[in-house]
Structure 1
Amino acid sequence: MVTIKIGGVPEHFNLPWHFAIEDGAFEKEGIDLQWEDVPEGTGRMSKLLRNKELDVACILTDGIVKDIIAGNESRILQVYVASPLLWGVHAPGNIEAENTRQLEEAKIAISRYGSGSHLMSFLLAKKYGWDTQDIDFELVNTLEGAVEALSNNKAQLFLWERYMTQPIVDQGIFKRLETIATPWPSFVIAATQDCIAEKEEALVKMLAIINRYTADFKQIPSIDRTIASHYDLQVGDVQQWLLRTEFSDDQLWKSTVDKINEEFSAVGIIDREVSLEELIYDLPQAEEENDEP
């Protein structure tokens, strides 16, 4: 049995992994897949990969690209969710401001430096022509930390996945001012180079399994109600999310890397551009299953 330690956010995107684990799909292929929920998000997962505390992470595309540029030796194995991530731009529920432009001087809550909530703040600032050198951040670690920060005026803006924050908006704790979508695929699957070197065959099998589960995920009967119940969401919101979300088994595209280089260079997040070859590792293709007797 080959052990693979994998992490991801405790959100609806990762439910296919849990279904596969519960079904024993990895175990049947000799893989002890040990899932760790990482509510702090991509910044925390990048650190866990660097420290070899995780072998694999299901991680935001922009976040891991930024961290590989900064020295993380992990490599991207494939895209996991090809559709853009829809970020809600949130303010305290009782704030008088009616649009984001009014909050140029706001302190922005982020889960971690290098996380999506951090990186997307720069793209939000660029949209409104704000000085990205002057952004003031409040480190809050988790969604719950952001609720506390905005409720107590420690921060006035917070970017997080639009559907996971809907219950907080419905309660009036957050006011959603707008939504912005990433100009690239949401999530990729990345692994440490040690894991690639030592467990390549198991990684090939792991990807083949999760790609089967994501291919069938949206066709599961009553999956909208299952997700809604599991993550305390409204069925209608889940149905919207399902319509927007496209899982993938493709490798990262050069055009995606070019777009990240362009956007991050424009706001000063990166000090050099990165090539596709520096970011990815192409695993061998899994052998096709033979169903003949």
Structure 2
Amino acid sequence: MEKVRIAGVPEHFNLPWHMAIEEGAFEDRGIDLQWTQVPEGTGKMCQMLEDRETDLAIILTEGIIKSIVAGNPVKIVQEYIASPLLWGIHVGANSKHQTLSELKNTKTAISRFGSGSHLMAYVNAQKEGWDTDSLQFEVIDNLDGAVKALMDGTADYFMWEHFTTKPLVDTGSFRRLGDCPTPWPCFVVAATDDFIKKNPVTLNHILDTINTYTSEFKQIPSIDRTLANRYGLKLEDIREWLSLTQWSQEQLSIEAVENVQRTLNHLKLIDSPLTINKILK
């Protein structure tokens, strides 16, 4: 049995991986796929890949591309979610801010620098016509840290996946002032260059297996109830999320890579874009 380490966020997007692991689909191919939950998100997973603490990661497209451009020896081996990620823009329950425009020149909570919450703050600021050079950040590590920061006023707003934070909106911890969808497919599968070079057959087996699960995922009987129960989300919210979400079994397109690099370059988050073969396997 070949041991392979994989990392991902503890969110509903990744249920196909857990189902495949729990049902022994990888073991059937001689692979012991060991999953690590990373609630801190993409910035942490980029560091794990760079430090060889994981072989693979299910990771945000913009975050891993920025990390690769910065020198992380990693490549995208496949697109995972072809649809955009819907980032909710949240303030604390007692915040004085009532509209999105009022967040200009305030401080945003981010899980860490290089994370999706960090990069999407720039995308949202650009969309709103704000000066991206004046953005201010408070590092909060994870969702619990964000709740604390918005409650005690050390940060003014926080961007995180709309449906993951919906329970906090429902219970009144957060108020959502708007949403900002990613202008590209949101999640990809990334692997270290070492793993790709040394384990090409194993990598193909892993992708073949997960693609079998994702291609049939929405057709699984009562999958909406399974998701709602497992992730503590309302059934109507899961059904809306499923209607918006499209899994992929293909490589990320060249156009998507160029769009991400062009945006990051325009926002001064990367210097010179890389050639496609430096980013895609």
TM-score, normalisation: structure 2? 0.98
Structure 1 residue 95: Cα displacement: 1.9
In structure 1, how many angstroms separate the alpha carbons of the residues matched to 2:156 and 2:228?
Answer: 28
In structure 2, how many angstroms separate the alpha carbons of the residues matched to 1:258 and 1:128?
Answer: 22
- The equivalent of 1:286 in structure 2 is none
Answer whether contact 2:125 2:132 (CA < 8 A) is retained: yes
Q: Which amino acid aligns with 1:172?
A: G
User: What secondary structure, in the 3-state scheme, does the structure 1 residue paired with 2:154 have?
Assistant: coil
| Stretches of structure 2 lacking an aligned partner (at least 5 in a row) | none
Structure 1 segments of 4+ aligned residues over 6 angstroms from their partners: none
Alignment of 1:85-234 (within 5 A): 85-234=85-234
- The equivalent of 1:291 in structure 2 is none
User: What secondary structure, in the 3-state scheme, does the structure 2 residue paired with 1:218 have?
Assistant: helix
In structure 1, how many angstroms separate the alpha carbons of the residues matched to 2:139 and 2:78?
Answer: 30
- The equivalent of 2:279 in structure 1 is 279
In structure 1, how many angstroms separate the alpha carbons of the residues matched to 2:98 and 2:152?
Answer: 19
Answer whether contact 2:8 2:37 (CA < 8 A) is retained: yes
Structure 1 residue 104: Cα displacement: 1.1
Structure 1 residue 249: Cα displacement: 1.1
Q: Which amino acid aligns with 2:198?
A: E
- The equivalent of 1:60 in structure 2 is 60
Q: Which amino acid aligns with 2:133?
A: Q
Structure 1 residue 129: Cα displacement: 2.1
CA deviation vs aligned residue, 1:257-281 (integer Å, no higher than 9, x gap): 1211221122111111122211011
Q: Which amino acid aligns with 1:4?
A: V
Structure 1 residue 133: Cα displacement: 1.7
**Higher mean C-alpha displacement, 57-66 vs 128-137:** 128-137
Residue-pair matches, total: 281
CA deviation vs aligned residue, 1:187-228 (integer Å, no higher than 9, x gap): 000100111111111110000000000111111111111111
CA deviation vs aligned residue, 1:17-68 (integer Å, no higher than 9, x gap): 0000000000010001000000000000000000000000000000000000
Q: Which amino acid aligns with 1:47?
A: Q
Structure 1 residue 183: Cα displacement: 0.6
In structure 1, how many angstroms separate the alpha carbons of the residues matched to 2:144 and 2:231?
Answer: 14
CA deviation vs aligned residue, 1:239-267 (integer Å, no higher than 9, x gap): 00000000001111111012112211221
Answer whether contact 1:140 1:149 (CA < 8 A) is retained: yes
- The equivalent of 1:270 in structure 2 is 270
Instruction: Please report the RMSD computed on the Cα atoms of aligned residues, expressed in angstroms.
Output: 0.8
| Stretches of structure 1 lacking an aligned partner (at least 5 in a row) | 282-293
In structure 1, how many angstroms separate the alpha carbons of the residues matched to 2:155 and 2:255?
Answer: 35
In structure 2, how many angstroms separate the alpha carbons of the residues matched to 1:107 and 1:96?
Answer: 14
Answer whether contact 1:100 1:177 (CA < 8 A) is retained: yes
User: What secondary structure, in the 3-state scheme, does the structure 2 residue paired with 1:215 have?
Assistant: helix
CA deviation vs aligned residue, 1:110-162 (integer Å, no higher than 9, x gap): 01111100000001111222221221111011111101110111101100000
CA deviation vs aligned residue, 1:150-178 (integer Å, no higher than 9, x gap): 01111011000000000000111111000
- 1:7 equivalent in alignment to 2:7: yes
In structure 1, how many angstroms separate the alpha carbons of the residues matched to 2:8 and 2:140?
Answer: 18
In structure 2, how many angstroms separate the alpha carbons of the residues matched to 1:170 and 1:53?
Answer: 36
Alignment of 1:215-254 (within 5 A): 215-254=215-254
In structure 1, how many angstroms separate the alpha carbons of the residues matched to 2:106 and 2:92?
Answer: 11
In structure 2, how many angstroms separate the alpha carbons of the residues matched to 1:151 and 1:96?
Answer: 12
In structure 2, how many angstroms separate the alpha carbons of the residues matched to 1:12 and 1:113?
Answer: 24
User: What secondary structure, in the 3-state scheme, does the structure 2 residue paired with 1:212 have?
Assistant: helix
In structure 2, how many angstroms separate the alpha carbons of the residues matched to 1:128 and 1:239?
Answer: 29
Answer whether contact 1:253 1:276 (CA < 8 A) is retained: no
Indicate the percent of aligned positions where both proteins have the same amino acid: 49
Answer whether contact 2:49 2:56 (CA < 8 A) is retained: yes
